[in-house]
Amino acid sequence: MASAVARPLSFWRGIFYLLLGTGLVLTVIRFTQGLGAVTNLSDRYPWGLWIGFDLLCGVGLAAGGFVITAAVYIFHIERLRPIARPALLTAFLGYLLVMVALMFDLGRPWNIWHPMVMWNPTSVMFEVAWCVMLYSTVLALEFSGMVFEKFRWKRAAKVQKILTIPLVILGVMLSTLHQSSLGTMYLIVPGKLHALWYSPMLPILFFVSAVSVGLAMVIVESKLSSRAFGRGLEMPILTEVGRVLVGALGLYGFMRIFDLFNRGMLGEAFTFSYESSMFLVEFGLGVILPMVILASSRRRASEKWLYAGSLFAVMGFVVNRMNVSMTGFEGAQGGHYIPSWAEVMITLMLVAVGFAAFSWIVNNFPVYPEEAKEPEVATREPAGVPEAETTAPWERVLIER
């Protein structure tokens, strides 16, 4: 099968090496000449694409990991189990890439470990640093199950299985904290961030939008990997994820509008100024449109529509985070920040490395369930006695009692 897919992939392989090559050259320049040599960052715009996209979007788009693992292991929604591992892998790689991106963005990346020993609890960044560190560890431990399974390390796999529930709970706690804290980070700039984005509700808005984009990413990621690996799509599962996505987007949209109304800023949204237009793009494209598309159960059941709706939700999320981190500052800071081509190239290199790593891991580790060709089997609610394979021993004790 590998040889059959090698040909269509060679185009993407070419793109990959191109991005990798250019990115590596720029990396050398970045670390020998300083940030100014490759970025358009300045004293007025100390944060740019690498914070707005690589960090804020990277962490948000990886939210599918904690959302799906919570659904499967905490809420015991067994039929979602087939997509738990891919979602976990996406999250794990997402966080690894965020950390790599930070190595580029930090002026003194060799000091990245300092928050571990130099504490400052009043700093939101300090809290985010700890949460990201701990959650990445949690993700690594959750992912280790696949490694143990692959190499048939039975004892390690058993220990890992026992740890699953505590790990998932810890993961949900840490994710709740740092997904919202990325919004809290911006609460310190009431004078700089435009009122369409600055809100005391930023932490909650960041959290709810992360949950919805996490769901959307699960659908997008499934679609992309079904294309890349020639797998069937677990449509009944994804349709259901799409249904929850509509609810999450609805909640987020309501909160966003309620917040604007509450602060008397709803009129501001329709002045068609630069900021207002960017808000309308973010909200119309990323909240209203996907909701309209996915509101119909017929369209949710269609592969194409489901993918389109989710893709719009993801794009709207990205625009939102870019608006909070860049657009929203331009009024107060003056001028514009437009990322340099080198910033874009390094970001694309990281994304490409992420795709390559994903595909390598899928090809080498048991990420997808075996019987992907028959999704009906995978989605069926396990009736009667639960499969011993998927249940931790201590869970079995509880169930069998």
Contact positions toward another protein, by CB under 8 A?
A: 31-37, 39, 41-44, 46-47, 70, 73-76, 78, 105-109, 111-112, 114-115, 118-129, 165, 168-170, 172-173, 176-177, 180, 184-185, 187-192, 203, 333, 383-386, 395, 398-399, 401
What is the closest distance, in whole angstroms, from the C-beta atom of residue 352 to another protein in the complex? 25
Measured from the CB atom, is 184 or 320 closer to another protein? 184
Which is nearer to another protein, 105 or 221 (by Cβ)?
105
Which residue, 58 or 203, has its beta carbon nearer to another protein?
A: 203
CA 308 to chain CA mean position, Å:
18
Q: Residue 274 in contact with residue 268, Cβ under 8 Å?
A: no
Q: How far is the CB of 169 from another protein (least distance, A)?
A: 4
In this structure, the number of other CB atoms found within 10 A of the CB of residue 284 comes to 12
- Least distance between another protein and beta carbon 184 (Å): 5
Nearest approach, Cβ of 120 to another protein (angstroms)?
Answer: 4
Task: Specify the residue, 152 or 401, whose C-beta has the smaller distance to another protein.
Answer: 401
CB of 75 to another protein, least distance (A): 5
Nearest approach, Cβ of residue 118 and another protein (Å): 4
Q: Which is nearer to another protein, 114 or 227 (CB)?
A: 114
Of 156 and 187, which has the nearer Cβ to another protein? 187
Cβ nearer to another protein, comparing 100 with 124: 124
- As measured in angstroms, the least distance from the Cβ of 335 to another protein is 12
Minimum CB separation of residue 274 from another protein in Å reads 19
Nearer Cβ to another protein (10/111) = 111
Q: Which residue has the tokens 């490395």?
A: 353
4 or 117: CB nearest another protein: 117
Three-state helix/strand/coil letters over the chain = CHHHHHHHHHHHHHHHHHHHHHHHHHHHHHHHHCHHHHCCCCCCCCCCHHHHHHHHHHHHHCCHHHHHHHHHHHCCCHHHHHHHHHHHHHHHHHHHHHHHHHHHHCCCHHHCCHHHHCCCCCCHHHHHHHHHHHHHHHHHHHHHHHHHHHCCCHHHHHHHHHHHHHHHHHHHHHHHHHHHHHHHHHHHCCCCCCCCCCCCCHHHHHHHHHHHHHHHHHHHHHHHHHHHHCCCCCHHHHHHHHHHHHHHHHHHHHHHHHHHHHCCCCHHHHCCCHHHHHHHHHHHHHHHHHHHHHHCHHHHCCHHHHHHHHHHHHHHHHHHHHHHHHHHHHHHHCCCCCCCHHHHHHHHHHHHHHHHHHHHHHHHCCCCCCCCCCHHHHHCCCCCCCCHHHCCHHHHHHHHC
CB of 47 to another protein, least distance (A): 6
**Distance from CA of residue 180 to its chain's centroid?**
14
